[in-house]
Copies of this chain bind each other. A is one copy, B any other.
Amino acid sequence: MKIGILGGGQLGRMLIQSALKYDDEFYTLDPASDAPCNSISNFTQGNFNDYETVLNFGKDKDVVTIEIEHVNADALAELENQGVKVVPNSKIIKTIQQKILQKEFYKAHDIPSPEFQVVWNSDEKIVMPLPFVQKMNTGGYDGKGVQVVKTEADYQNLWKEASVIENLVDIEKELSVIVARNEDGETKKFPVTEMVADPKLNLLDFNICPVFLNEETQKQIDIITEKFLNAINSPGLFAIELFLDKEGKVWVNETAPRLHNSGHQSQEGNANSQFEQMYRVVKNLPLADTDVLGYSGMLNLVGAEGFAGKVIYEGMEEVLKLPKTYVHLYGKTETKPGRKMGHINVLADSREELMEKLIKVKEMVRVIAQ
């Protein structure tokens, strides 16, 4: 089957890597000629935000999917009209792309998400009490397009474009759950993962799994994921990012309609990874079992401050000596501060052992340049 992916980054690369155990042809579209998918797929250099480019790329494919949500959804709608399967469908991509539509989607389907106010332009009066979060309607990504407004003095920094003003949640834990639905309507969830800050270094977040939640919290999450899967009316794999607040209530922060950083530890930590699951969604195959195999955790390898250029992974050889430690690099030759270059997954027999190993690995490796 000819599978087209909008975006040629690491998520697409790991999807293709995983799917090499089946017999499909992968095509990718990305503006960067050195995109991680280039050498392992039929690669087209082009802008996935451009209507004509996406249309041309998709028209001869059996199915088109995404590894980034900021793509031209109108072109995807036209591809659907022309009979090309699009996973997830253009409607849910469009809804999630725009924070305003995304928030209204949660409200319409009774999915708990922080109280919000829509602001279309800078003249509107803000009624949300301080402190609050401003999220740009479009273009937000990896923490960009999101700011916390704490005092009235901060009002002058408010972005002037269309945005959502959201109540600031008093966060106890940041959780994530990856859910999948295929065209036949079969659904599967991955176990909940938790973002934990490294208590010593206070620098990097780890993603760990499983998380032990009390019955009441797990029930709230189950209700949210059920409502979400019923509401989307589309096949797809989605990462639902959650806040558990200090009062014990669970809120949806936001949803990604694609493979997600918070699912990377599933590569070795679960019976099947999010990448295998995504492949099955795209092909409308029976969904894979997602059981945990033990404790697993993931740390991102991001470019260190002060280094730009040809990447060097300092300390990596020592990391490779550690048992049940799995290095995943993304085929990027150039590093810069904050760039996601890879990640490391770690398996352990207890949460304590896991945290110890993650902290140890974090201290061993540094992403610098020549």
Residue A329 at the B interface, CB < 8 A?
Answer: yes
Nearest-CB distance from A295 to chain B (Å)? 14
Residue A143 at the B interface, CB < 8 A?
Answer: no
Number of copies: 2
Q: Is the CB of B286 within 8 A of A326?
A: no
Q: Is the CB of B280 within 8 A of A320?
A: yes
Q: Is the CB of B324 within 8 A of A22?
A: no
Residue A305 at the B interface, CB < 8 A?
Answer: no
Residue A158 at the B interface, CB < 8 A?
Answer: no
Residue A333 at the B interface, CB < 8 A?
Answer: yes
Residue A293 at the B interface, CB < 8 A?
Answer: yes
CB contacts under 8 Å to B, within A1-33, are: 13, 17, 20-23, 25
List, in ascending order, chain B residues with CB within 8 A of A293's CB: 293
List, in ascending order, chain B residues with CB within 8 A of A285's CB: 317, 320
Given known pairs A23-B331, A333-B23, the reply for A288 and B17 (CB within 8 Å) is no
Residue A306 at the B interface, CB < 8 A?
Answer: no
Q: Is the CB of B21 within 8 A of A329?
A: yes
Which among B17, B271, B317, B324 is the interface contact of A286 at CB below 8 angstroms? B317
Given known pairs A286-B321, A320-B280, A324-B271, the reply for A331 and B291 (CB within 8 Å) is no
CB contacts under 8 Å to B, within A22-54, are: 22-23, 25, 39-42
User: Which residue from chain B places its CB closest to the CB of A294 in the assembled complex?
Assistant: B293
Q: Which of A21, A39, A41, A331 has the most CB of B within 10 A?
A: A21
Alpha-carbon gap, A25 to B39, bound state (A):
9
Given known pairs A40-B40, A293-B293, the reply for A320 and B21 (CB within 8 Å) is no
Residue A351 at the B interface, CB < 8 A?
Answer: no
List, in ascending order, chain B residues with CB within 8 A of A40's CB: 20, 40
Alpha-carbon gap, A176 to B42, bound state (A):
38
Q: Is the CB of B20 within 8 A of A288?
A: no
Given known pairs A280-B320, A293-B293, the reply for A328 and B286 (CB within 8 Å) is no
Q: Digitize A285-314: 1 where CB-to-B-CB distance is under 8 Å, 0 elsewhere.
A: 110110101000000000000000001000
Residue A323 at the B interface, CB < 8 A?
Answer: yes
User: Which residue from chain B places its CB closest to the CB of A268 in the assembled complex?
Assistant: B271
Residue A327 at the B interface, CB < 8 A?
Answer: yes
Q: Is the CB of B13 within 8 A of A20?
A: yes
Nearest-CB distance from A302 to chain B (Å)? 16
User: Which residue from chain B places its CB closest to the CB of A313 in the assembled complex?
Assistant: B23
Nearest-CB distance from A271 to chain B (Å)? 6
A21-B326, A23-B329 given; name 8 further pairs at CB < 8 Å.
A17-B20, A20-B40, A21-B327, A23-B333, A39-B42, A271-B323, A280-B320, A289-B324
Q: 28 A-B residue contacts at CB 8 Å?
A: A13-B20, A17-B17, A17-B20, A17-B21, A20-B20, A20-B40, A20-B331, A21-B327, A22-B329, A23-B311, A23-B329, A23-B330, A23-B331, A23-B332, A23-B333, A25-B39, A39-B41, A40-B40, A280-B320, A285-B317, A285-B320, A286-B317, A286-B320, A286-B321, A288-B320, A289-B324, A291-B323, A293-B293
